[in-house]
Amino acid sequence: MIIWKRFRVMLLALTFCSILFVLANVMLLPTKDKGTPFVFPEYIPLPQWRLSVSHPLPKPTKKQTEILLSQKHYRYLKEGLLLDIEMRYLTDGDVVKFLQDFNFISSSAVIRQREGVGYYGLGVDKQRAYLSACINPQSGSTFTVEQFHKKKDLYTINPQHLLSWLLNNKKLQDKRCLWAHLSIPLKDSSPEAAYQVLENAWFSWYKWWQLRFPKP
């Protein structure tokens, strides 16, 4: 009986150590998130706007290719106003860095939050007003890398997600991001008036994509 108890304790200890080892490897070692190829649709409905054209974005640089999975450009028209939306599917969520690396925008943005949507950034560059945000796979949008990692880490330690990871061999950490960059020309309008146009379009755009986030 004593031998059996000792054996059971040793077995439990070995199992616990194995779980810790696997968890440490998943958390600390770099992972490749290149997953199943995702292709952006040619047409996405946007209330009050008419799609003018959709086409591929310029070929990414070697550095951009490391985190970029897919991309697409959409142009919408409403009462003579053109709305450009650049969509990129990436394995990172630092929108501030994306603006510098992809759009060459280094000016600071105004960060706003909308209940039921999340955080997004608004700014002006080269006489164009823009709105930029990362749509997260766990729902909600973020703008700064700190917001992105906080949301990702909270999802990682969620008991339901941990159980799903253990039972279904899913990735413990999900670092994917659907980066949306909306912009319109300022023309004779004020930045605040342009921001309102962008926000109205963004809330509808976010709702459509939040329900259709690519599967890993």
Q: Which of 186, 180, 182 is nearest to 213 (CA)?
A: 180
Give pLDDT, residue 173.
62
Q: What is the residue-averaged pLDDT of the chain?
A: 82
* pTM of the predicted protein model: 0.78
**What pLDDT does residue 6 have?**
56
Residues of the chain with pLDDT below 70 are 1-36, 153-173
Q: How far is CA 73 from CA 13, 28, 136, 157, in A?
A: 54, 35, 19, 35
Output the pLDDT for position 178: 96
pLDDT of residue 125: 95
- N-terminal to C-terminal alpha carbon distance within the chain: 49
The pLDDT value recorded for residue 33 is: 44
Element (DSSP H or E) covering residue 133: strand 128-135
pLDDT at residue number 108: 86
Q: What residue type is assigned to position 57 of the chain?
A: L
Residue 153: the pLDDT is: 64
pLDDT of 165 reads 43
Provide the pLDDT for residue 34: 46
Residue 10 has a pLDDT of: 58
pLDDT, position 17? 43
d(CA 187, CA 173): 43
